[in-house]
Amino acid sequence: MELLFLGTSAGRPVQGRNVTAAALLLPQERGVWLFDCGEGTQHQLMRAGVKLTKLQQIFITHMHGDHTFGLPGLLSTRSSLGTEEPLRLYGPSGLRDWVQRTLALTDTRLGYALEITEVRPGAIYEDERLRVVTDTLEHRVACYGYRIEEKPQRGRLKAELLQGLGVPFGPLYGQLKEGQDVQLPDGLLIRSDDVTEPARSGRIVTILGDTRPCANAVRLAQGADLVVHEATFDAALEDKALAYGHSTTVQAAHTASEAGARRLLLTHFSARFTEADMAQLAEEARALFPATETASDFAVVAVRHANRADA
């Protein structure tokens, strides 16, 4: 599981930074999930080598243009590539009307089913491996954050132990992996718990939209392995951040710290900040939450299990 940043600038694109978008790169069968879709997002995906035909779900945090203006073009291009796989689109109230009117007025016809869900707080998606929960944030318009929860996974089989016990490779391995005890032809009972490594807790990624500091942001980020939080302003501009419904570097760090998160990625930087300012912005947050980094366009961040460095 990896998170690819496609746009990390607030409000408008600047040299080297596009407006907001990030892609969660999942195992093959789950493809790509996109979070926000600022203008030019499909160009960023092409530059990153991510195929639109792999895109399965899009989550929009709020309706401001720097988070949505790339959506109509991306939907159209995905259709022109010939894919017929359905696409799920989630976001705030008004998203369905805006998308449908834009497509109708531009005579854009999609060759796949577009399933649009206008979200409310709570669980909005679940399959056998992943669950997505959303809640409201505090911005100038209705805005949501998303918490992606990977369900706990059974531990790996202890292959050397199984070989030593004389368990033949094949269906019995699958039964043991699924938690079933098996009996060998000689009567030896092999208990799944005895030949399986401890279960792994699932990973948690929290992607927050634009927001002032708020209790819901902390709840969405609780215990997360990775939190993506806007830091539109530096610590000296706290009053401006409050007035515009945004957060500072230090406020983002406070949210991650209060939530007990493992790692914080700052994004959505005001155009007033240059690349030379990024080190200072990171240091402001690290004073409170040391595991902080600033995101950059095309950065790929691996989401690791708390107890493993290679997953």
Confirm or deny that 181 is annotated as ligand binding: no
Q: What tokens does 34 get?
A: 């996109």
CA distance 134 to 137: 10
Give how far Cα 210 sits from Cα of 81, 141, 248, Å: 32, 9, 11
Q: What tokens does 157 get?
A: 């089989």
Burial class (CB in 10 A: 0-12, 13-18, 19+), 250: buried
Question: Three-class SS string for the chain?
Answer: CEEEEEECECCCCECCECECEEEEECCHHHCEEEECCCCCHHHHHHHHCCCHHHEEEEECCCCCHHHHCCHHHHHHHHHHCCCCCCEEEEECCCHHHHHHHHHHHCCCCCCCCEEEEECCCEEEEECCCEEEEEEECCCCCCCEEEEEEECCECCCECHHHHHHHCCCCCHHHHHHHCCCCEECCCCCEECHHHCECCCECCCEEEECCCCCCCHHHHHHCCCCCEEEEECCECHHHHHHHHHHCCCEHHHHHHHHHHHCCCCEEEECECCCCCHHHHHHHHHHHHCCCCCEEECCCCCEEECCCCCCCCC
Residue 225 a catalytic site member? no
Confirm or deny that 62 is annotated as ligand binding: yes
Which among 66, 225, 234, 297 is annotated as catalytic?
A: 66
DSSP β-ladder status, 264-267 and 55-59: unpaired
Confirm or deny that 64 is annotated as ligand binding: yes
Residues annotated in a binding site for Zn(2+): 62, 64, 66-67, 139, 210, 268
User: Which residues line the annotated binding site?
Assistant: 62, 64, 66-67, 139, 210, 268
- Annotated active-site positions, please? 66
